[in-house]
Amino acid sequence: MKVAGLELGFIKSEVIMLRLILWFVMSMYFHGKFKDRKEGYTMSWKTLKEGLKVGLLTTWTLGKIIFPITLIVTILGYTPVMGWLSDLLSPLMGFIGLSGEAAIPLVLGNVLNLYAAIGAILTMDLTVKEVFILAVMLSFSHNLFVESAVAKQVGVKIWIMLVVRIGLALFSAWIIHLFWQGGGERAKYGLVPSGGDEPVSGWGAILYQGVESAVIGIFQLALIVIPIMIFIQIAKDLGWLKVFSKWMSPFTRALGVKENTSTTLAAGLFFGLAYGAGVMIQAVKEDGVSKKDIYLVMIFLVACHAVIEDTLLFAPLGIPLWPLLLIRLVVAILLTIAVAIIWKRVEKNKQEENGEGKEKRWPSK
């Protein structure tokens, strides 16, 4: 879909470049901070080699997930399936303050990605309130197939992630619809639609586009993951991650998780579940993150991840971005703390029950 003469693919490439620049700035910052504090840590060509190896292996692991999903979903986009899903969801739209046609971007966003959803929104005549509700819903729940598969690789059950993400999307939409009485004026988009994509006809052309999209997706993934993994390896060998973990410790303690989750949190928070997955998978393996902490971190990240990219992507819709970011961050923190408290109480009750059981079974003298 073309928007004001610019393709959404161009917007996507701009976001990817932003990621690379952010990592470069972070690396320069850490280098300046810690160049005098290496304390015996050394870096060699072995470091770069190991980082490259891990990056390639991670790209292969995620590519095996992303390629078939992207191919299948792209093909489904040219079948009646998307229309059926939209028709199925239309009755629900009124309950959360949306018109029936708003089901289309929701389906596209959850089955495909935010780019497809935003492209669809830009072609619709919606109110400011409807656009903001859609933005909040999509920020919580999008790209479910790929990101749920990534969560499974980290060790989290898919159904839990789906329940949390879809539940947050529906509940937040209902709350906004219930309490916000304004926003009835027509939305004025930052970029004005100017026609659609060239039509694709024939199964051969559709299959080709699906394969092309999947290959490009994996290539973009490699461009992000490999530099990240090399940087992480450098950070490990120079001892930066230990210092970073200490910096993050007040935040991780507030969430009810240990310091060794800091790398996973940072990767997901700044780069998202898909592009940050390589770091998260590696960190879970190497840092000895417990099952409880994995679930708590992933619950936080499904509510609030890729804060820079996902927030800036909604800029073309002309909605205020700070409220969108604050809603995600506050909800993520409160939800994670609540789950951590409940988890701790359940564990304590189980320990007490086990203790009582042992006392009852203990033979009397």
Other CB atoms closer than 10 Å to residue 314's CB: what's the count? 25
- The answer to whether residue 113 sits within a structural domain is yes
Mean pLDDT of residues grouped by 10 in the chain (365 residues)? 39 51 50 46 71 80 72 75 76 87 86 78 84 94 87 87 94 93 80 49 80 77 74 72 74 86 80 69 75 90 83 79 91 94 89 66 48
- The answer to whether residue 365 sits within a structural domain is no
pLDDT for the residue numbered 126: 87
State whether residue 237 is helix, strand or coil: helix
- The answer to whether residue 260 sits within a structural domain is yes
Nearest Cα to 101, choosing from 140, 130, 139? 130
- The answer to whether residue 21 sits within a structural domain is no
Euclidean distance between CA atoms 314 and 299, whole angstroms = 23
pLDDT for the residue numbered 318: 80
pLDDT for the residue numbered 86: 73
* End-to-end Cα, the chain, rounded Å: 81
What is the length of the chain?
A: 365
Name the residue range of residue 270's domain. 26-349
pLDDT for the residue numbered 338: 93
- The answer to whether residue 9 sits within a structural domain is no
pLDDT for the residue numbered 66: 66
Domain count of the fold of the chain: 1
- The answer to whether residue 58 sits within a structural domain is yes
- The answer to whether residue 291 sits within a structural domain is yes
This prediction's pTM: 0.69
pLDDT for the residue numbered 339: 93
- The answer to whether residue 164 sits within a structural domain is yes
